[in-house]
Amino acid sequence: MTAATAVTVPVAPTPQSGWASRPEWQKWMAYAAAGTLVLAIVGQFTGTSMLTSSTLTSTAIKWSIPILLAGLGGLFSERCGVVNIGLEGMMIMGTWCGAFGAYHWGPWAGLVVGALGGAVGGLLHAVATVQFGVDHIISGVAINILAPGLARYMSESIFVNYDGGSATQSPHVDGLGDFTVPVLAGGKIFGWRSPDLLGNIEDRHWFLLSDIAGIVRGPFSQMRIFTLLALLCIPLTTYIFFRTRVGLRLRIAGERPAAGDSLGVDIYRYKYLGVLVSGALAGLAGAFIVMELTGLYQQNQTAARGFIALAALIFGNWRARGVFASSILFAYPLALSLQDLKGTSVRALLLVIAIALAAVVVWSYRRPNLADAIIAGVMSIGCVIWFATSETAPAWLPNTMPTSSCFWCWCSLPNGFAHRPQLASPTDEAIARAA
Amino acid sequence: MNMTLGRRVLLATAAPAMALFVALLVSSAVLIASGSNPLEAFSEMVKNGVKLEVIIDTLNRATPLFLSGIAAAIGFKMNLFNIGVEGQYQLAAFAAAVVGANVVLPGVLHVGLIILVAMVVGALWSGLAGVLKTERGVNEVIGTIMLNYVVTNGIIAALYTHVIDKGNANNAGTPANDESGWLPDLNGVVELFTREIQKGRKLTGMLAIAIVVGIFYHLLVNRSRIGFDLRASGINPVAARAGGVPPKRMVIMSMLIGGVIAGLVGLPEIVGNNHSYDQGFVKGLGFLGIGVALLGRNKPLGIALSALLFAFLDSSAGVLQFSGTASKEIVVIMQATILFAAVIAYEVVNRIRLREEVKSASLTTGATA
């Protein structure tokens, strides 16, 4: 074989100017700024300060964590080539085990036991799919059938004997606790109550400035320790996959298993590892729900978040930061509907949707894709009319936003959403290095 | 292939038998671990299961499970994972209940209309997932999962408050259908052969429809042009395409047929039991149906048997709880274990069969394996 055929000539990236060539962090900042601006304008227009309040941001982050953790779980599994529909079931096992661990040995044990419970589900999935070659979807569906039954059975034999427990729920368990950052959000330093800088700005209701202060203050006030740990998983995941040998081998197991195998990478081992970590992360998501959101195990409390996490994974294009962004996007309307029981602020959300759809119109028109532009335009106008003719928005609207936004994006993408992600495959040189 | 018939039958039955054995083993272990006597529990289940009333319960439970299994199996035949039966049957039943309650028609027409509405709505919702796949490349697994979510949290949640029976405070559901919208039960047929059915049990008339659907499925898949195309695109989509089978049309077609049958799944409640869609409407049949289809290897008789097995386990849950021999959730664990063990066993048997085929091929050609 000559050198000319062995080495694929890399295609030089075509020089791009403007937006496309900007570094990724700048794009993210721009998206965040645009989002804040839209929320601020809509908030000003509708006279509600709730859209950008720090309590809402804080709640949205809290509610996004289960989706984020389970989504990262899905990432670990899919990056090593195993589709994980069983996230929901693994999450349920995480809720039960998390409650059991936290009740007996305290919150930190709850975290570990919850992750172990999810990992058991992952092990089951790995044995079926990796060892025996069972179809990934089939195994996942079986786990989703097994987990609720198992959790219920164990509750009936264990939790009923506890004070305050029953066949459908556990006694109360404690979370890992929270902290408020001093000076910025008014946390305490040795009992001294420090000034609440951002909170003061937020309370002034200045246009944009107060909105930014509210959004920024959210993560700093009453930050859960568990939340912080989960957020740390985002850079950690990216680091593992793109900076470590293990991560490269995990990706090889998913993308180029034959090539890796020929160079001595134990593909089975890495697939097992990936699916086990996937289960553990889904279990952590379950433990988070139990310890931080509800304070006890309840039957059916995962509420299909495992499936939403799968959507967040796809929506986030199989990347950790994308999963985070989409989980925030999905949790935001839910958090809003929790804070706003009357539905007036949810109504304001209709206007936000209308503006987002208007952006889609411009984008589709320039691509050019006239059909999409027309559909988006009609929907955008529909949202405005709905907003204008209603006093409050119904409670189901925030619940369906995650899925409908997903559908919208899939339907308007040029190639649609392909089953296999558009991943950056490890190059031959990288595979050779890893082996 | 020179494998003897006996050996092939042995291989075919080995997997389900193995699965059942493993499931019994696992659930015995679980029962012992929680301090129950497995032998006592199993004998209680069997003793209870042969009572006529419990058999009626089993058949009533098996009917929707069978329909759901058939609906899923049509997709599976061409490697199309229709996870959306769950949403399709709920939406179809909801629509059928609403239409049934608001339409006045004489006897047969009323029932017919309800069934037709359910089938059409099921097909439309399923077809939507098919169109998304063919036109936009949305993977059908993700697409149908999302559509399930849209049904339960979106459409039904949005419309529910508008259609519930406001005159009846006790029943927070759609108004009940008139008697013209009820499907007659099959008690008379059963009583011809046995004794009178007691305790107010009614054998659902949907069973007859389910049997028709089973025969239709067999004819469609094994005896028709469409069925041949379906199987061909499942086994080798590239070859099928080269052979003139349009892949997009097959996807839409199988989703539509699957949706029609999925629409029937929830009907025993609407035309039989409650005659309305309420908060307690039976859920989870779609996912169980996938299990039933997998256990039955997508074959009509296999699906029927596994539906009966799952239904038997479900209907004996009560007696376990009642007699205090075990917690009733053990049956769900048994169902899932059977499913798990079965899919693994099928794979193992498949590998054995492949190895034997290679061996026999190398023997006939004289090559060394």
- pLDDT digits over B340-356, tens only? 888 888 888 888 888 88
The complex's ipTM works out to 0.85
Q: What values do phi and psi take at A256, rounded to 5?
A: -130, 60
- pLDDT digits over A232-267, tens only? 999 999 999 999 999 999 999 988 888 888 888 899
Got the DSSP string for B109-171? HHHHHHHHHHHHHHHHHHHHHHHHHHHH---HHHHHHHHHHIIIIIIHHHHHHHHS-TT-SS-
Identify the pLDDT of residue A17.
Answer: 56
- Tell me the C-alpha distance between A360 and A374, whole Å: 10
Q: Shortest CB distance from A411 goes to which of B132, B344, B351?
A: B132
Residue of chain A with shortest Cα separation from B155: A396
Which of B77, B145, B155, B346 is the best residue to mutate to test the A interface, defined by the most A CB atoms within 10 Å of its own CB? Answer: B145
Identify the pLDDT of residue A341.
Answer: 73
Identify the pLDDT of residue A337.
Answer: 81
- Give yes or no for a contact between A412 and A376, defined as CB atoms under 8 angstroms apart: yes
Residue B13 has pLDDT above 90, yes or no: no
Per cent of chain B over pLDDT 70 is 97
- pLDDT digits over A134-180, tens only? 888 889 988 998 999 899 888 888 888 888 888 888 898 888 888 88
Residue A5 has pLDDT above 50, yes or no: no
Identify the pLDDT of residue B1.
Answer: 47
Mean pLDDT over B215-230 rounds to: 91
Identify the pLDDT of residue B369.
Answer: 44
Q: Which positions in chain B touch A139 (Cβ < 8 Å)?
A: 340, 343
Got the DSSP string for A301-317? TTTTHHHHHHHHHHHTT
Cα A43 to Cα A46, A199, A209, A355, B66, distances in angstroms: 5, 18, 12, 13, 52
Identify the pLDDT of residue A2.
Answer: 39
Tokens of A21: 């060539």
Mean pLDDT over A409-430 rounds to: 53
Cα A59 to Cα A215, A332, A337, distances in angstroms: 11, 8, 11
- Tell me the C-alpha distance between A376 and A416, whole Å: 16
Nearest-CA distance from A41 to chain B in Å?
28
Crossing angle (nearest 10°) for helices A344-366 and A320-339: 140
- Hey, which of A73-77, A364-368, B270-274 has the most confident mean pLDDT? A73-77
A415 falls in which pLDDT band (50, 70, 90)? very low
Q: Which positions in chain A touch B132 (Cβ < 8 Å)?
A: 407, 410-411
Q: Which positions in chain B touch A400 (Cβ < 8 Å)?
A: 149-150, 153-154
Tokens of A183: 């000076």
- Stronger pLDDT, A384 or A425, i.e. the higher one: A384
Do the chains contact at B153 and A128, CB–CB below 8 Å? no
Q: Which positions in chain A touch B139 (Cβ < 8 Å)?
A: 417-419
Identify the pLDDT of residue A226.
Answer: 92
Q: Which positions in chain B touch A313 (Cβ < 8 Å)?
A: none
B86 falls in which pLDDT band (50, 70, 90)? very high
Beta strands in A53-185 (DSSP E): 178-179
A1 falls in which pLDDT band (50, 70, 90)? very low
Nearest-CA distance from A205 to chain B in Å?
34
Identify the pLDDT of residue A417.
Answer: 43
Cα A166 to Cα A75, A243, A288, B45, distances in angstroms: 35, 47, 21, 25
Beta-carbon count within 10 A of A336 CB: 24
Mean pLDDT over B254-261 rounds to: 94
Residue B3 has pLDDT above 80, yes or no: no
Q: Shortest CB distance from A145 goes to which of B135, B146, B336?
A: B336
- Tell me the C-alpha distance between A71 and A73, whole Å: 5
- pLDDT digits over B164-173, tens only? 776 666 667 7
Tokens of B7: 């050996």
Nearest to B72 by CA among B151, B136, B140: B140
Identify the pLDDT of residue B171.
Answer: 60
Q: Which positions in chain B touch A418 (Cβ < 8 Å)?
A: 137, 139
Residue B324 has pLDDT above 80, yes or no: no
Identify the pLDDT of residue A380.
Answer: 87
Nearest-CA distance from A88 to chain B in Å?
12
In the three-class reduction of DSSP (H, G, I as helix; E, B as strand; rest coil), residue A53 is classed as coil
Question: Average pLDDT of chain A?
Answer: 83
Which of B85, B141, B313 is the best residue to mutate to test the A interface, defined by the most A CB atoms within 10 Å of its own CB? Answer: B141
Tokens 């589900």, residue located: A121
Mean pLDDT over B130-153 rounds to: 83
- pLDDT digits over A39-76, tens only? 888 888 887 777 888 888 888 999 999 999 999 999 99
Residue B2 has pLDDT above 60, yes or no: no
Any chain B CB within 8 A of the CB of A414?
no
Tokens 């559908």, residue located: A407
A345 falls in which pLDDT band (50, 70, 90)? confident
Ordered alpha helix ranges (H), A289-418: 305-315, 320-339, 344-366, 370-389, 396-412
Q: Which positions in chain A touch B129 (Cβ < 8 Å)?
A: none
Which of B83, B340, B353 is the best residue to mutate to test the A interface, defined by the most A CB atoms within 10 Å of its own CB? Answer: B340
Do the chains contact at B339 and A418, CB–CB below 8 Å? no
Identify the pLDDT of residue A420.
Answer: 43
- Tell me the C-alpha distance between A331 and A333, whole Å: 6
A408 falls in which pLDDT band (50, 70, 90)? low
Do the chains contact at B137 and A417, CB–CB below 8 Å? yes
Q: Shortest CB distance from A133 goes to which of B136, B327, B347?
A: B347
Q: Which positions in chain A touch B149 (Cβ < 8 Å)?
A: 304, 307-308, 400, 403
Q: Shortest CB distance from A400 goes to which of B34, B153, B335?
A: B153
DSSP type of residue B181? G
Do the chains contact at B138 and A85, CB–CB below 8 Å? no
Mean pLDDT over A203-209 rounds to: 77
A421 falls in which pLDDT band (50, 70, 90)? very low
Q: Shortest CB distance from A153 goes to which of B138, B333, B344?
A: B333
Q: Which positions in chain B touch A419 (Cβ < 8 Å)?
A: 139
Nearest-CA distance from B91 to chain A in Å?
15
- Tell me the C-alpha distance between A325 and A327, whole Å: 6
Q: Which positions in chain A touch B135 (Cβ < 8 Å)?
A: 416
Question: Average pLDDT of chain B?
Answer: 85
Identity of residue B311: A
Beta-carbon count within 10 A of B292 CB: 31
Nearest-CA distance from A69 to chain B in Å?
19
Mean pLDDT over A108-126 rounds to: 95
Do the chains contact at B81 and A137, CB–CB below 8 Å? yes
Mean pLDDT over A17-36 rounds to: 80
B237 falls in which pLDDT band (50, 70, 90)? confident
